[in-house]
A and B are shown apart, each in its own frame.
Chain A
Amino acid sequence: VAGSAFLGVVVWLAFTESRAARSPAWALLRCLWPSWRFFDGVAPVPELAVRVMQGDGEFGRWRPALSPPKRRVYSVFLNGEGNLHLAKQSLIERLLQELDGELVEEAPSLFSYILVRRLVEAQLASFGCTSRCYQFKLSEPETPEPLFVSAPHQLGEL
């Protein structure tokens, strides 16, 4: 009986739709509530791209802002850069979740939006970018239409 009940709970947990923690306080304490769904859908990983304003006042071409670091043999034990890359990717996915149903004009007030801007600015600094104005977009690989394009922002404005 106990085994059947346990199996019933497992099946129920697996087949009920997962819900992101709705309360912001619970979302912060999410590590206390395990979720065991991994790779349960095959969705493309969203890409973050950035472009900066050129001297002529026009934006240049989009270029990827994040690329996964090369994996080494020792990465099985220590993979700090790789896990940091995954955390950045999660930040982008969370922004997309939060943008769902939001008005585009309200996006800059989202907390994840601010953090993604900080991420973009850090990446621009690592590229040695000198332009003051930038824009970022989120898209899916091999899909021409972007999921989201930000308004132009000034570097160091945050």
Chain B
Amino acid sequence: MLLADAEQWTARAIGLATLLATIELLKIRRVMADDGVWSWPYLRREHVVLPTPLRLLFAALLPYRPFVALLWLRLPLALTLLCGSSLGAPLLLLTEVAIGVRFRGTFNGGSDYMNVLILLALSVARVAHSVPLVVTGCLAYVAAQAMLSYVIAGLAKLRDRAWRRGLALGALVADAGYGTPGWLRSILTRPSVSRVASWSVLLFECSFPASLKNPSVCAAFLAMGVLFHLGNSVIFGLNRFLFAWLAAYPSLLFVSQLLQI
């Protein structure tokens, strides 16, 4: 995969991720209205802690009407990325941060982190488009963060006794709060299935650095990654993670190829 291809596919994938996320937010926008749960007249009180320039910026962007306009603006920006151009990345990055701040940090946790860091990398790559070393550095940064995301998550789970004993996944899906479909819950709460599934997650996440061995091994890991995120989407409803992490995969593939040379 050439550097330009990796950059373009990253742009396409993050374009799709932000497009879907924006459609979701537009669909539920009533909760951000002045009479909704995340009402700006209340949220703004918390902004007194921000430095004045940021406070003024968010005071202009985050009230209900401008914020909804911002969400509509994200649609064409996401589409330009989907078409392979990272021209809209800096502006989309600003809207992504604004969404995080509107929800007091993040709306969807990990997927927001991944979207922000990929858009940041694409924005820098766009500005320094004529310097291949900088563009390579941006993609390496995305790859490093994607790898960290798996390894840290895996090692942190490994510290937990329930994960080591293979009980964790069964216990998590048994919790009604995640809304796991009944048929899946009845399968995953079986001790033998829970043990195999828990250890599969641990092994996949902890062994992820091996994906950089060569492009073929990397492709195999990424295929497992797609299945892993698809599973999380069905089991825990974390659909945004699938698309956000997919956007990091071209960088991982590119870096695995780079290390091979």
The chain A residues found within 8 Å of chain B, CB to CB, are 6-7, 10-11, 13-15, 21, 23-25, 27-42, 44-47, 67-71, 75-91, 94, 111, 114-115, 118-119, 122, 141
A34 pairs with B113, CB closer than 8 A = yes
B172 pairs with A119, CB closer than 8 A = no
A40 pairs with B100, CB closer than 8 A = no
Known: A28-B105, A76-B239, A79-B237. A141 touches B152 (CB 8 A): no
**A-B contact list, 29 entries, CB within 8 Å:** A10-B155, A14-B154, A14-B155, A23-B49, A28-B46, A29-B97, A30-B106, A31-B97, A34-B145, A34-B149, A35-B113, A36-B113, A36-B150, A38-B110, A40-B159, A42-B160, A44-B175, A45-B176, A68-B176, A78-B23, A78-B27, A79-B237, A80-B23, A83-B108, A83-B239, A85-B179, A87-B108, A89-B177, A118-B39
The chain B residues found within 8 Å of chain A, CB to CB, are 20, 23-25, 27-28, 31, 36-39, 42, 45-47, 49-51, 96-97, 99-101, 103-110, 112-114, 116-117, 144-145, 148-157, 159-160, 162-163, 167-168, 171-172, 175-179, 181, 209, 230, 233-234, 237-240, 242
Q: A28 vs B155: C-alpha distance in the bound complex, in angstroms?
A: 27
Query: Per a CB cutoff under 8 Å, which of B105, B154, B172, B181 touches A30?
Result: B105
A27 pairs with B105, CB closer than 8 A = yes
B95 → A minimal CB distance (Å): 12
B156 pairs with A37, CB closer than 8 A = yes
B237 pairs with A86, CB closer than 8 A = yes
Chief secondary structure at chain B's binding surface? helix
Q: A36 vs B149: C-alpha distance in the bound complex, in angstroms?
A: 5
B159 pairs with A15, CB closer than 8 A = yes
Q: A131 vs B179: C-alpha distance in the bound complex, in angstroms?
A: 29
A80 pairs with B155, CB closer than 8 A = no
Query: Per a CB cutoff under 8 Å, which of A30, A69, A87, A119 touches B179?
Result: A69
A156 → B minimal CB distance (Å): 11
Question: A45-B177, A141-B175 given. 5 additional CB < 8 A pairs?
Answer: A24-B49, A42-B160, A75-B237, A80-B28, A83-B239
B234 pairs with A71, CB closer than 8 A = yes
Q: Which B-chain residue is minimally distant from A81 (CB atoms)? A: B28
B108 pairs with A86, CB closer than 8 A = yes
Contact residues in B for A36 (Cβ distance below 8 Å): 110, 113, 148-150, 152-153, 156
Contact residues in A for B151 (Cβ distance below 8 Å): 10, 14
Q: A77 vs B177: C-alpha distance in the bound complex, in angstroms?
A: 21
Contact residues in B for A88 (Cβ distance below 8 Å): 37
